[in-house]
Structures are given as structure tokens and as C-alpha cells.
Structure 1
Amino acid sequence: MHSLSKWAVLSALATWLQLSIAAPAEHQPRAAAASCNLSNKETWDYIVVGSGPGGLTMADRLSEAGHKVLLLEKGPPSTGRWGGTMKAPWLQNTNLTRFDVPGLCNQIWADRNGIACTDYDQLAGCVLGGGVAINSGLYWKPHPDDWNMSFPPGWKDDDMKTAVDKVFTRLPGTMYPSRDGKLYLPQGYNMLSAGLTQGGWKSIDANVQNDQRNRTFSHTIYYFADGERHGPLATYLVTANARKNFAFWTGAGVKRVVRTGSKVTGVEVECGGSSGVINVTPNTGRVIVSAGTFGSAKILWRSGIGPTDVLNTVKSSSDGSSMISSDQWINLPVGYNLYDHVGTDLEVAHSSVVNYDFYGAWSRPIQSDSQLYLNSRSGILAQSAPNFGPMFWDIVTPADGINRHFHWQARVEGSRSTSMTLTQYLGTGSVSRGRLTINNQLKTIVSQSPYLNDANDKAAVIQGVQNLRDALSKVSGLTWVRPTASQTSTAFVNSIPSNPGSRNSNHWIGTNRMGADDGRVSGGKAVVDLNTKVYGTDNLFVVDASIFPGHITSNPTAAILAVAEQAAIKILAL
């Protein structure tokens, strides 16, 4: 184990600052979410649809400004703080759920019943918090190019600095998630970081030197605090929920926004087998859709907003009799511009690597580990499964002259007990795109794969793989499992199908692209304008990863939070 360093001290200070805002779930009384109440005939200044990072931030900032806000989540509560009940057996008689314990996050791949959305063909979280309740908690500041290469005027790096600072003041992040400030089972990190150093790569603090993301590496950073998941659910939602002008309901699925022409008057909600309409304040009320890349697109389609072919599919579904009439449809490219980080998994093995059975920790944890976690929020279970680190970056420029930014994430898992999987994520600079559509059972479908349908994107991926192989070539005793030592990087990349089953990173973005080019006009590609308002509407907005024009190399959570901070300023100023 590493001894305490200056980063551990800083991390401990950051944790203390977070705890001054909101105590961990085990030490705070439950604040259970209200169930959907369709008999409630109140009107609301803002209805926010979806409780992912975008929705939580918007709900907090809008209620902070004095507006009456209702947040709707179609799934159940998640963390113990909010009355969640899904637990591993050894968490019974505690106020902790499977979502609170970082070391149990990978259980989503073994058991997602009651957690994953059932109306999408890809994995997404339909629980309070959305993705930030089920993911690995990875979290670091965006690179300046993430904004400058992908986002429109008003959303460039200089424009976003204040928003990013707000996010990282609220959620500083930590490299040392265990409460005792130690890193557990760091052998894999030590081996790879030493190898990268030998290969000429440089160690950085990713949240301080966030503009240095080329041949650099860092400890993994998380939005955890005090050994628990923490994040937006323990910050933005806590402060919003303390206000009398805020309410939130779980089990409240939004079918569509209710509108007449360009004016939205409310949302149609389904819960408990019934449906009803919740209205916004007449004349001034607004709806913010923050249901994610799949969910937000689906709500717009069911509201008569999107390409004609998709709207006709919705019209032929069970929605047909209640769908808004076709003369009020708004033709926008909803579902186009779909993108995901291109995931390419490499695997190495080394005798120094120590594997930990995180899946076994669900029902048969090592008693000393579970007790260390329960008694002091420390140990391997306070770290995200399956033991991440290091994370590292590279920039490759293929023949078209556009820089491609790569983020790499190492984790201790693979085909051998001493394996590590090294995943390359292609983000900023990529130009490949796909399309999301819907079938007449109202299930969203990735109908056009977004992975490597541009030759220069693929060339950059191949070069990035080769760059890493070269960097680690001096590590004594390192075995290449995938690709094998005799396989070329080109042959390896070409052997992996470019489809969601093989490339999926579950970092989906882009279906409601933001831009100044109104998508109703020939050649226009944008669904929302530079204030995040849906073109052709007066009071309907989208704020989540679906509005990203292109992908970023940073972890999506931090960028979504920053986008929501910026969007709140713009929307409140309208």
C-alpha cells in the first residue's frame, strides 16, 4: 500500500469540505423521495424530467433562484440517503444500498433487474441519479479541446471555466476513496505507471494539469467521498431538497410533453398503471428534459418532435391515438449525431498484479474487508470495482490533420488471475457518427453504429494502440494477451467488429445536438439552440449529454455537470 502523500492530505481536505455540505448516508436520516402523485394539481415554474447529473444540477440551480421546481424520475430510489432498498446481503440492517458501496458497482453487469431501463437496446440506469448511481464514479476535469473542438460559441473553454470551477468546488473528487487515505492493491497501478515512465510518459495530477493530456498518466479520480458513492446525489440533490419550493417524485415516467404548437403546457406522466398531466405555471412555466441520450430523444419523438420517418413509427405504435396531430409536428434531426466513446480493449498479464473478487463480494465478501468497510468506510470495497488505475492519455493526428484525443483506463480484470484490461477510449476529434431510432414497440434502437465509420478515426485508433505497445515494451515479464505479441496493431483493431456489442463504452451522447444551425432549415443539424431551447418551441429545453455536438475525452459526468451549470445561467437569463 502507498503511504499518505500530499495528494492524500489534499484529498482528505476535499472530503472534509464535501462532508460540511452533506453527511454520508449512514450518518444522515433518510429523506425518502415522494412517490408519483397524479392527483396533485399544483403547477410548477419548472418541471425537470430525469435525475441524472444534468437534471440534478438543473433542479438545484433553478430552485436556488427561487423558482418552484418539480423533478421527475421514472425509476426507484437508489442510494440509502434517499430511501433506496436494494442491498447486498451483508448490508442488511444498515442505511447503505448496493449503490452506496463503490466496490459493488460492477454488480450491475451481473444483476440489473429493477435498475436498467428496459425500453432501450443499450444499458442505461433508470433509478434516482441515472448513470451517476450505477457507474464507476470516474471523474476528472475536461481538457480545453473538449470544449474548443466540439462545442459552439458561448460554450468554449474560456466560456466554461466558471461552470467547471463551480462543479469542482462542489465536487472536488479524490484519488484516495478509502477513508483512511490508502490505496489498496495498487500493484497493477505501480507496474503500469513504472512502464509508462520508462516509455517516456509523464505523471500528472489530472485535475490540476488538465491541459496536459498527451503521453501522460495519473491516479484515477472519483467523485466518491468518505468511502461512499457521494457525487451529485449527495450534493446537488441535498441542497435542492432542503428548499420548500422543490419537490421530486420517483416512479414517475414522462410519456411526452403536452404542447399546442410551440407552447408547452405540461408533461404527461405514467406511474402505477395510470397516467395524468402535470402542468407548468401558465405563460411563464418551462420544461427541462434531462432524461439522457436515449430518454430525451424518446420523449421528443413521442411529443411530435423529430424526423418524419421516426414520428410515423411512433404514430403506428400504441401512442398513435393520443399523439399530437401531424400538422403540429416539428421536423428536427432528433436521433442523428449519435456517438459513444469507441472502446478498444487490450489485455496484459504480469506476475505482480493481484486480482480481487468484487463479484464474490456481493454475497460472500471476505469478512475482514466487509467489516473494515462497515466500521470505517475503508479498504478495497471503498474503491471502485474492478480496481482502476492508472488512467492515461495520448493524442494522435491522422492524415486529415484533426487531432484525436485518447483516454486509456486500466483495471484489474481479464482472462487470467494476473490480467489487466487496458481500454482505449476515442473521444475528442472523432468524426464518426451513428443514428438512434425507435421501433413500434417504443424501444429505442441504435440503428446506425457510430463506431469507426471514418477511415481516419480507425487509423488513429490503430496508431494509439501501437503507441501504448511501444511505451510498455520495456516492462520486464509483461505478457501481451490481446493483441498477442505476434499480431500487428492493424490486424488487431481490424479484428474487432465496429458495433455496440464489441465497442460499447456506454458513454452515449449527441442525439439532440446543440448548435446555431436550426435543424428545421435545410442543412441544419441542431435540435437545440445555444441556450439549449428546442428549436420551434417557446419553453422546452434539453440539458444532458444528448446535446453534446461531439464527444469529449474527459469523463462525461464532469462535463455534463458543467454543461448544466452553464445552461442554468443561460436559461434563467431568458
Structure 2
Amino acid sequence: MARIIILVAAAAASLFQSVTCQCTAVPDKTYDYIVIGSGAGGIPVADRLSEAGHSVLLLEKGPPSSGRWNGTMKPAWLQGTNLTRFDVPGLFNQIWRDSNGVACEDTGVMAGCVLGGGVAVNSALWWKPPSRDWDVNFPEGWKSTDMKGPVEKVFGRIPGTDTPSQDGIRYNQQGFERISEGLNAAGFKQVTPNVQSEEKNMTYGHSTFFIQHAERHGPLRTYLETAAARPKFTLWTNTMARRVVRTGGRITGVQLDCRNGAGHNGTVNVTPGTGRVIVSAGTMGTAKVLFRSGIGRTDQLNVVKNSALDGATMISQDQWINLPVGYNLNDHVGTDIQVAHPDIRFYDFYAAYDTPIQSDVDAYLANRTGMLTTVAPNLGPIIWTQVTPSDGITRSIQWQARIEGRTNTSMTITQYLGTGTISRGRLDITPTLNTRVITAPYLRNATDKEAVVQGIEHMRGVLNGVANLTWVTPTKEQNTTAFVDSIPAALSSRNSNHWVGSCTIGTKDGREPGGNAVVDLNTKVYGTENLFVVDASIFPGITTGNPSAAIVAVAERAAERILALK
């Protein structure tokens, strides 16, 4: 095992040796596959393609993140270690206080523009998707029976844990314990979520994370490491894919822009005749690449055509591909409730970045134990319920509790309305070539709102059974419908940042009347010969919980189908 780690570390160093100090011209070399984006979709699909013996170039427009990959962003107390802000669980939530140099500047919503994308900056929550997520949302060929194998492969490599600390202790569990009192009294069942993954109604459990040795793990420490050890795999960071270069439906390469004074400039080409490009830049980023490549609805392509940056070099209008890129946008509808209890104690994970408690630093650095092994801000319990409003369509709900709020004894519990939702939104592109949410996908359908109200009304009754618990919001006297109505259905108040759907998979070709799909069942973009999309943007609907594991499973399945194509 030690030898494998040394080889992977050496491979990582060699990958970055020539790309982190200055802009570099693209070398005279072609690749069988160019993968745009190094997130939950891009890293696994690049690994699987390289495993099959192909030459693969993985592009990331941001800098390295984890210390394992030569990342450097860290607080003073991590200097001299190989850890960065992305590696230590207690620092994960700091992204919401300070995202400078980490968050994408061109998406309109929070997204990680660093190596790993969302799986480098999120809370590392790791849920095995229940069958319902596939069977309700996805087309034939992508149902739960088709996804069983890919899901098992993912969890074989990244099993996850609900006890991140190396001593097996879960710290500061007062919030979990108090909320559990109400859940148990109301008939909820405590489960181990990724063992009893199908039990997603009237159940709860400890949060599960893709953490190992009390450090961020996941795709960055599995799929990327195995890919990096292969001689035909190449990774370029600080390198933005501006557009794919194509003639009609045939993509010949990718035009690149160097970023952060590093990375590559120029046009990198695929292997003539057989090469392929896979866009895995996330729900916002993938749409942008397609728009700039002349793929999307005419109104959006005209924005690009008239832009100062791309207008003079955009592909000619007679080669535009008219697809519904940006439509079907979806996200969990987030609704926060907040309670307080005298037993709850807030731990200041935000202060831990610059002024941590020294004993907690010592415990973490020496033994990987203590509060800093806890994912900020002390998440849990996670709760699952289902509701069926008047349209007869069941909605899945995941509740996520955390110890933070208006006081040091408060807990915020977010209701995520998931699988079964009807409402959808849309994103577009601005004249400065930033993507943005133009239509928020929240509660645009009356029965989605009905489901939110039903769910909160039920949870209010459950938590009222906890002795000495008080309500912060809604207040004890406030009507639930009035409370839900008081929260605008807007990004500023409902955004869960679990974006999916802008490049939907399906059999109805979006170029045709009534067509709503951007990619076919092999994830190939309609109207192209060798362009694919593999990330959350192809999801037809939102999942029950945080979608990271589902995205990796989709990448596994997509790789199978792409490799099978002649």
C-alpha cells in the first residue's frame, strides 16, 4: 500500500510540474478523449476511459484543491502539512464565508472552480440513491435495474462513513439526541442510511460522508488517483474550455484559455476520426460551453454571437444546433425551519479557520480526532419523509439538521423537496458570457408548494414532542402556509445549490417539435457525432438527497455506454 501511495503522489507531482507556473502553449499531440471539467462526473468518466486504454486529457479551469494534488490554499495552522482548506472536515463550511479564488465567477450561483469541482467544496455528504430516484426520473436504460451495477461499483470504491473521527467518537451530539427524541416518539426508524438505502420514509440516521482518515476522500482520492497512475492520462488545471471546435456535428478539438497566469492556451485536438469530447463542467458550466459552441436555442446563441468576446469567432449560424440547453433546470426547494434547545451547544467552525482552539488543532493534526474531524457545522440527524399532495404524485423529502442559527442553542433544519417535484426553471447566458438562473425552479407548481406545507406541518408535530424545545421560525403561533408564503420562491431564499437538468437526457430529440432532450441515451449531444455530456446537467429531475453519489454512478453508466459505441 505504501508503494502505491508513493507512486500516485509522484504521478500527481509530474502532472502539475509544467502547468502551474505559467501559461503554456498546447503541445502538438492529440487525445482519444478530452474531458472538460473535473467534478463528480468528469473525474470518474476520465478514469474509466483511461482504464480502457485510451489517451485521456482532463481539463479543469480552476487551480488544484486538495494537498494531495498540490493545492496550496490553507489557513496558517495547516502550513507545513500536506493538507489544505479542502481536506479538513471542520473547514468545509468556510466556503460560504470566504470563497475567493474557489468559487466560479461566471455561473451566477455557487459552484466550485477548483480541481474536483463540487466534490472539492461541498460538505462531502454521500448517500446511496434509492431506486425511486432512477425510476421516477430517468428514461429506459437508466432505471434502477440498469443502475444497480454502477451504484455498487461507486460504493465499492467510496463506501463513506458516519464516524469521521479516527477514535470512532461522534462529537457534540446533543442536537442529534434531542431531535431523535421527537422522531422516535413519532414512530420514525433509525437506520444506517447507506445500508438501508431504500428506506426513505419515516426514517433518520447519522450523516454519511466520503471521508477517510478524517480527510476529504471521494473521487479525488479514488478515481483521480488511479487515472493519474496511468501513462496515457493527462491533467491540466487552470485551463478553461472556451468552446468545442467543430464542423457540423464533428468535433475536432477544444479551444482553451489559460487562467490564473497558468494552464494552457490554444486548441487541443482529438484523435482524427475516432476522438471524442465529453463535457462535464456541471449544470451551469456545461450549458455555457455548449452555448459558446453554437449549441442551444437561437435566442441564447444570438447573445453569444453579439458578445464582444465571442462574436467575431463564433461558429457560423448555418451550423448552429438548435437544442433546449438551459431548460428543465431543477434544484431542491430549500425551506429552513429553526428550533432551539438548552442542551444544544454551537461550535464556531468559522473561527477555526483563523483562530482555532489549539487543543482541537493538536488532536486533529496528531491523531485525526476531535471536533475538527466533524463536518461543519455539525450536521445531523438526516431525516427522510414522503408526502403525496392532491395531484397524487409522491414527493420525497430529505431533512438536514445542523447546529447553527440565531443563537448558540439553535438548530437549523432544512427541508429539501426532491424526487417527484414538478416545477422547473431555466438558465441563460448574458452578454458577458456568464450563465445565470433566469427562471428559478421553485414552487412554480401549486402541488409542489402543497407538498412543502404538508412536510413542514408534519415535522412541526414531530418536534413538538421534544421537551424544552422552542420554535424560532416559524414561531409557535404562525400558520404553516403563511410561513411558507413568507419565504420568496427565489434564489436568495430557496437555493440548495444542487443544480441539475440543463442538458436533459432522453429519447425526444430536442431539435424536433415537442423534443425536450439535449443528449440521447448514450449521453451523446443530438446533432453531433462525437460530443457527449456526463454530469448533473443530464438529470431529468432532482434526486431525493444531495446528488454527488448519483452523479458518480451516472458517470460509471455513461462510460459503459460510450465505450460500447463504435
TM-score by length of 1: 0.95
SS of 1:558's equivalent?
helix
Relative to structure 1, the CA distance from residue 28 to residue 543 in structure 2 (aligned partners, 3 Å threshold; closer, same or farther) is closer
1:188–1:353 contact (8 Å) kept in structure 2: yes
1:178–1:227 contact (8 Å) kept in structure 2: yes
Are 2:350 and 1:359 equivalent residues in the alignment?
Answer: yes
1:59 corresponds to: 46
* Matches of 1:21 and 1:71, distance apart in 2: 22
Q: Using the TM superposition, give the Cα deviation of residue 24 of structure 1 relative to its aligned residue in structure 2, in angstroms.
A: 13
Q: Using the TM superposition, give the Cα deviation of residue 73 of structure 1 relative to its aligned residue in structure 2, in angstroms.
A: 0.2
Relative to structure 1, the CA distance from residue 361 to residue 23 in structure 2 (aligned partners, 3 Å threshold; closer, same or farther) is farther
2:388–2:451 contact (8 Å) kept in structure 1: yes
* Matches of 2:478 and 2:295, distance apart in 1: 48
* Matches of 1:22 and 1:484, distance apart in 2: 53
Map 1:160-171 → 2, pairs under 5 A? 160-171=147-158
For 2:361, give the aligned amino acid: S
For 2:302, give the aligned amino acid: N
After superposing on structure 2, the runs of 4+ consecutive aligned residues of structure 1 that deviate more than 4 Å are 19-32
Alignment counterpart, residue 281 of structure 1, candidates 268, 271, 275: 271
2:188–2:204 contact (8 Å) kept in structure 1: yes
1:289–1:541 contact (8 Å) kept in structure 2: yes
1:550 corresponds to: 541
2:209 corresponds to: 222
Q: Using the TM superposition, give the Cα deviation of residue 39 of structure 1 relative to its aligned residue in structure 2, in angstroms.
A: 3.3
Relative to structure 1, the CA distance from residue 264 to residue 29 in structure 2 (aligned partners, 3 Å threshold; closer, same or farther) is closer
Relative to structure 1, the CA distance from residue 162 to residue 457 in structure 2 (aligned partners, 3 Å threshold; closer, same or farther) is same
Task: Return 5+ residue gaps in structure 1 as ranges.
Answer: 1-16
1:487 corresponds to: 478
Q: Using the TM superposition, give the Cα deviation of residue 27 of structure 1 relative to its aligned residue in structure 2, in angstroms.
A: 12
For 1:304, give the aligned amino acid: G
How far does the alpha carbon of each residue in 1:174-218 deviate from its partner, in whole angstroms, 9 at most, with x for none?
Answer: 000111111011111111112210111111111111111111101
Map 1:450-529 → 2, pairs under 5 A? 450-529=441-520
For 1:208, give the aligned amino acid: V
2:295 corresponds to: 305
2:15–2:234 contact (8 Å) kept in structure 1: no
* Matches of 1:24 and 1:432, distance apart in 2: 48
For 1:305, give the aligned amino acid: I
Alignment counterpart, residue 381 of structure 1, candidates 363, 372, 381: 372
Task: Return 5+ residue gaps in structure 2 as ranges.
Answer: none
Relative to structure 1, the CA distance from residue 32 to residue 353 in structure 2 (aligned partners, 3 Å threshold; closer, same or farther) is farther
2:345–2:409 contact (8 Å) kept in structure 1: yes
1:288–1:541 contact (8 Å) kept in structure 2: yes
2:24–2:265 contact (8 Å) kept in structure 1: no
2:336 corresponds to: 345
1:348–1:479 contact (8 Å) kept in structure 2: yes
Q: Using the TM superposition, give the Cα deviation of residue 140 of structure 1 relative to its aligned residue in structure 2, in angstroms.
A: 1.0
* Matches of 1:420 and 1:474, distance apart in 2: 16
1:270 corresponds to: 257
Q: Using the TM superposition, give the Cα deviation of residue 37 of structure 1 relative to its aligned residue in structure 2, in angstroms.
A: 3.6
SS of 2:135's equivalent?
helix
SS of 2:288's equivalent?
helix
SS of 1:570's equivalent?
helix
Are 2:177 and 1:190 equivalent residues in the alignment?
Answer: yes
Alignment counterpart, residue 538 of structure 1, candidates 519, 529, 535: 529
For 1:251, give the aligned amino acid: N
* Matches of 1:71 and 1:179, distance apart in 2: 33
1:293 corresponds to: 283
Alignment counterpart, residue 245 of structure 1, candidates 202, 219, 232: 232
SS of 2:256's equivalent?
strand
* Matches of 2:92 and 2:288, distance apart in 1: 27
Q: What is the aligned-residue identity percentage?
A: 60
Alignment counterpart, residue 442 of structure 1, candidates 433, 441, 460: 433
Map 1:251-262 → 2, pairs under 5 A? 251-262=238-249
1:334 corresponds to: 325
Alignment counterpart, residue 321 of structure 1, candidates 308, 312, 317: 312
TM-score by length of 2: 0.96
* Matches of 2:165 and 2:446, distance apart in 1: 43
Q: How many residues align?
A: 557
